[in-house]
Amino acid sequence: MTGDMQHSGRVGDTLAFHINGVDLVVPAGLASAEIVEKLRAGSYEADEARAADRCVKSGFRVLELGTGLGYVATLAAQRTAPEHVLSVEANPDLLPVIEGNLSRNGCSGVSLLHGAVAGQAEEDETVCFHISEGFTGSRLGARGGRQVEVPLIGFHDLIRAHRPHVVLMDVEGAEAGFFDRPWKCPLRFCAMELHPRQYGPATIKKIVDAMSAMGMTYDPVVSSRKILGFRKVWGEADTGA
């Protein structure tokens, strides 16, 4: 990472932060106190940022699932090119925030798609999506609280359309449904946040086995705590290349 100084401030009804060369503006009250503190300290999505720094190379196409504030999408776009990045976010409250943050960092060319990603989805299908207070932890399948109807997007449809070299994801457990068959893309790197409260060890084994079957191996440089990283075993035939 760049290692430049982190700083923050307040402008009217928004909070402004500068992390690793990225300017982020967040409406006051949108993020929880815990997230605001991480933004101020420069530790917000630190593991995910390190994964982007490690995995994204010039010219690589990147698929990011779970955009949040647009921080990692911006880092990915800076390392490859904005037009090579497709980022998906289900929470409608975050869309204008993401668009603003991408724009102020010169990355408005990133494709931002609104919807919740599942293993399979029919054309024009929608689903109820749970919005948590403070925005982190919003997910499919949760009961109670605030529920909004959002487009449902099929994971394998995204993979076939964008053909990413890098997949970055934090989708609060939905990743469990993405490993029913090989991904048809020239995959080089993948980093995902696991959610063991949403599924058990058998599902984690399924994920690891599926990645191995696609010629991917554990990446210790990217992996940290709940972030599980994989990289291509160089020299093997590329899946879907």
Domain map of the chain by residue range?
Answer: 7-232
The secondary element (H helix, E strand) that includes residue 129 is strand 126-131
CATH of 7-232, one of 3.40.50.150, 2.60.40.10, 3.90.1300.10, 3.40.50.2020: 3.40.50.150
Residues whose CB falls within 8 Å of the CB of residue 102, separated by 6 or more in sequence, listed in order: 70, 73, 74, 77, 82, 108, 110, 112
Mean pLDDT of 29-33: 90
Phi, psi of 222 (to 5 degrees): -85, -40
Express as a percent the part of the chain with pLDDT over 70: 92
Mean pLDDT of 144-172: 95
- Identify the pLDDT of residue 11: 55
What pTM value is reported for the model? 0.92
- Dist. CA 149–CA 31, nearest whole Å: 21
Helices (H), the chain: 33-41, 46-55, 71-79, 95-104, 155-162, 201-213
191 φψ region: left (φ > 0), alpha (ψ -120 to 50), beta (else): beta
Mean pLDDT of 208-226: 95
